[in-house]
Amino acid sequence: MNNSFICSNRLTRRHCLKLLAAAMAASLLPVFPGFAAGGARLQKTIPNSNKVLPVIGMGTWRTFNVGSDAKLLAARTELVKTFFELGGGMIDSSPMYGSAADVMGHALSQLGIADSLFAAEKVWSPAGGSAHEQVADLQRRWNIPQFNLLQVHNLSDWREHLAVLRELKVAGKVSYIGITTSHGRRHREVEQIMAAENIDFVQLTYNIVEREAENRLLPLAAEKGIAVIANRPYNGGSLIKNLKRRGERLPGWAAEHGCTTWAEFLLKFIVSHTAVSCAIPATTQLEHLQENMRAGVNPMPSAENRKQMVRFFDAL
């Protein structure tokens, strides 16, 4: 269909822009290089904004805490390079993750800052200093002018920190703010904050064996227009490593839903939930990164397919 025809003949400019935004949300964007067959890379629109995010991001806990070892710095730089080449967007870190911010800064200074970078950091009371000081320090370490998203890590002193993050957002020093939790912890409190506070993102653990968020938090996020980041998509690694070690085979029907590897099966399950914006698997291995990024390519499982995936997994 020809957009200019639609715009000029039947719809107002506003309607036309809405249509284009919807097309972006459906994200029929070209397949990125290195991915031979199949569909397009799935991106989702951040609620209440016109910014789109690729559904597979990258975590840095443990994996990027490699200090100043030259060989490891070069290896992590190569990971970041490949992540962007394969269409990656969100990179998530925290002052809790040791040298991860410095290692990311090293990689970005070698590679330049990719247009698609969506830099997500956190404030975390045990790291010391005020939230303002932590953010300034992290910006210096990443060597970027500002973060896209700032989150309160594990709800630590969340009232005070969220107030500061809100100030930074009002001042245009960050675009989005949010809170994080993991391992299913403090969901009741997370729910209260989501209901009462004006936040853009919530980060929580959601994967095929940790599905508690489906009950209340994901529906609430959808209702309130809060973007969801799924952390621990492999439950810290055990999920996929056990499947691979045991040589478990994928069910025959998985390929019909675009899942030809366990990485695709596990990650597509997560990001095909309508309330989830992106998942952030962490890895030290280039091969694993490539496998993970492939999970961001359409087709995705439908709601019915997702039920079938759960039944299969529960019976394993």
Binding site for ligand NAP (CB under 6 A): 59-61, 63, 92, 153-154, 180-182, 203, 231-237, 240-241, 263, 280-285, 288, 291-292
Residue 206 Cβ vs ligand NAP, minimum distance, rounded to whole Å: 11
Residue 58 Cβ vs ligand NAP, minimum distance, rounded to whole Å: 8
Query: Considering beta carbons, is residue 264 or 301 the nearer one to ligand NAP?
Result: 264
Long-range contacts of 242-250 (CB under 8 A, 24+ apart): 248/316
Residue 269 Cβ vs ligand NAP, minimum distance, rounded to whole Å: 13
Residue 242 Cβ vs ligand NAP, minimum distance, rounded to whole Å: 10
Candidates 68, 76, 134; CA nearest to 104 is 76
- Measured from the Cβ of residue 226, the count of other Cβ atoms closer than 10 Å reads 24
Query: Considering beta carbons, is residue 25 or 310 the nearer one to ligand NAP?
Result: 310
Question: Counting beta carbons within 10 angstroms of the beta carbon of residue 262, is it exposed (0 to 12), middle (13 to 18) or buried (19 or more)?
Answer: buried
Residue 28 Cβ vs ligand NAP, minimum distance, rounded to whole Å: 26
In angstroms, the CA 272 to CA 300 distance is 6
Q: In Å, what is the CA distance from 86 to each residue of 50, 82, 107, 129, 286?
A: 22, 6, 16, 37, 12
In total, the chain counts a number of residues equal to: 316
Query: Considering beta carbons, is residue 21 or 67 the nearer one to ligand NAP?
Result: 67
Residue 104 Cβ vs ligand NAP, minimum distance, rounded to whole Å: 11
Using an 8 Å Cβ cutoff, are 93 and 64 in contact?
Answer: yes
Residue 64 Cβ vs ligand NAP, minimum distance, rounded to whole Å: 8
Using an 8 Å Cβ cutoff, are 202 and 176 in contact?
Answer: no
In angstroms, the CA 80 to CA 86 distance is 10
Query: Considering beta carbons, is residue 19 or 185 the nearer one to ligand NAP?
Result: 185
Q: Which residue is nearest to ligand NAP (CB)?
A: 59
Residue 41 Cβ vs ligand NAP, minimum distance, rounded to whole Å: 18
Query: Considering beta carbons, is residue 6 or 96 the nearer one to ligand NAP?
Result: 96
Query: Considering beta carbons, is residue 190 or 275 the nearer one to ligand NAP?
Result: 190
Query: Considering beta carbons, is residue 11 or 310 the nearer one to ligand NAP?
Result: 310
Q: In Å, what is the CA distance from 131 to each residue of 42, 167, 168, 285?
A: 34, 11, 10, 33
Residue 228: which region, alpha, beta or left (left: phi > 0; alpha: psi -120 to 50)?
beta
Candidates 32, 19, 30; CA nearest to 290 is 32
Query: Considering beta carbons, is residue 134 or 203 the nearer one to ligand NAP?
Result: 203
